[in-house]
Amino acid sequence: MSASPLERIAPNLGIRTGAQALPAPAAGNEALASFGPFLWVLTAFWVYVALSNVMYANNMQASLSSMKMEHVFAPADARLLQHLMLYPLFVFCMWRSLRTGWQPLWRTLPIQIGLALLFVIPASPLLMLGEVITSKWYGLPAHEMGKGWPTWQEFLAGPEIPVWLASATNFLVTYCFGVALVSGFAFYRRLRDAQLRSAALERALTSAHLQALRMQLSPHTLFNLLHTIRGQIVWDPPAAQTMVVQLSDLLRRLLSAGEREFSRLADELQFVTLYLELQQKRFADRLTVAVPARSAALPRAWVPSLILQPLVENAVVHGLAGHDLPVSIRVEVAAEGETLILRVVNTIAPGRAAGAAGIGLSNVRERLGVQFGERASFSAGPAGADSWVAEIHMPLLRDGPEGPRAEAAAPGAA
């Protein structure tokens, strides 16, 4: 038994579809997996920040060097080390900021401010540390990297506090840009996921609606066929037995077609032929039918499953009602460009007024509206004094809605 549309999308939507809930991934793995895309964005952003700061410092130092002002800005390798050491702290603060969010503001704002301070306060000391490390690379004393560069004790004593504040302000702006970036990216992901969930639910609702419409046809058709066989049991028992065998074949095809959204046009015409043959056995003296043969030059097209069944059923029931004259039912198929035309023509009692649309015709109109919208149309009404025409215009689906897999899965596929 196939899964319902909601069950098919339940793993993606977290829907509980049975007695047991679907197993959820571990919280740690889920958090890491959800933060993965943000990590790539943050890494690219931080590389851009590091390169921008290094290039800006180098350009400014080159300008100052032309004025005999050396070692105003830290060397490039020290700045790269500073950004490298700040990177893990930057990622942690961004991750914690995302987890904290902004609602309610009175509770989250102090946390967000604390994360910003946690990031910007070490920026200047880490630059000093970078200079110390690079001085050891060159084999120079730490203070000889540049005259006037302070030691850690001089920094903590207070003269370099303005420099530290300037560095903190600069990295605070960078941090705010980072928060805005990840918040915007998070909003985009939530919007995209919401759209995907909405589209999945819409498809599930459409599939459930179409399945309900198809299931309406099964009891309706079965009732009419059983009524046909009942009329033959007393008058012609052998014919009734033959009709029961044909009915079993028809029901098998009916159940198979009811599980599929689309079927091949040739299979649909074969199903209609079986149904009309059953009706002919009951009304052999009145009913003549004409259905395009399977071997005829039919368009290689796909149509909604059981879309013709209500039309021929309506042609039989209403064509025979109200008179004792012979009735002719003709099924026609034509393709005009990218439009497929399905037409069922039957004779009716002369001068008979058009009645209200029944279950079958309403079902056809609703299914076409759900599946094709304005690209399909359906009309049914008298054509002349003694005939009735039901006509469908729909897109010509040459390869089927599911491509080659649908054709291979269809019954009777070569």
Query: How many of the other CB atoms lie within 10 Å of CB of 223?
Result: 10
Q: Could you tell me the pLDDT band of residue 159, with boundaries at 50, 70 and 90?
A: low
What pairing do the DSSP bridges indicate for beta strands 339-347 and 327-336?
A: antiparallel
- Rounded to whole angstroms, the Cα distance separating 10 from 264 reads 30
pLDDT tens by residue, 330-351: 999 988 888 999 999 998 877 6
Give yes or no for a contact between 275 and 313, defined as CB atoms under 8 angstroms apart.
Answer: yes
Per-residue tokens: 357: 């649309």
Residue 137's pLDDT is 62
* CATH code for the domain defined by 236-409: 3.30.565.10
pLDDT at 69 over 70: yes
User: Strand locations in 128-210, DSSP E?
Assistant: none
Q: Give the contacts of 127 (CB within 8 A, at least 6 positions apart).
A: 74, 78, 79, 82, 167
pLDDT for 262-315, tens place per residue? 888 888 888 888 888 877 877 777 888 988 876 667 788 899 888 888 888 888
Distance of CA 366 to the CA centre of its chain: 23
Report in angstroms the alpha-carbon separations of 206 from 6, 11, 250, 302.
11, 19, 27, 19
Tens of pLDDT, residues 178-235: 999 988 888 888 888 888 887 777 766 666 655 665 555 456 666 766 776 776 777 7
| Max avg pLDDT among 126-140, 184-198, 241-255 | 184-198
Give the whole-angstrom CA distance, residue 293 versus residue 296. Answer: 5
Which residues contact residue 327 at a Cβ distance below 8 angstroms, ignoring those fewer than 6 apart?
Answer: 283, 286, 287, 288, 316, 319, 320, 346, 347, 348
Please give the backbone phi and psi of residue 20, each rounded to the nearest 5 degrees, phi first: -110, 140
Q: How far apart are CA 162 and CA 158, in angstroms?
A: 9
Of the pLDDT bands very low, low, confident and very high (cuts 50, 70, 90), residue 88 is very high
CA 115 to chain centre: 38
Ranges in the chain annotated CATH 3.30.565.10: 236-409
* Residue of 158, 92, 155 lying closest to 119 (CA atoms): 92
346 neighbors 387 (Cβ within 8 angstroms): yes
And the tokens for 236?
A: 């012609």
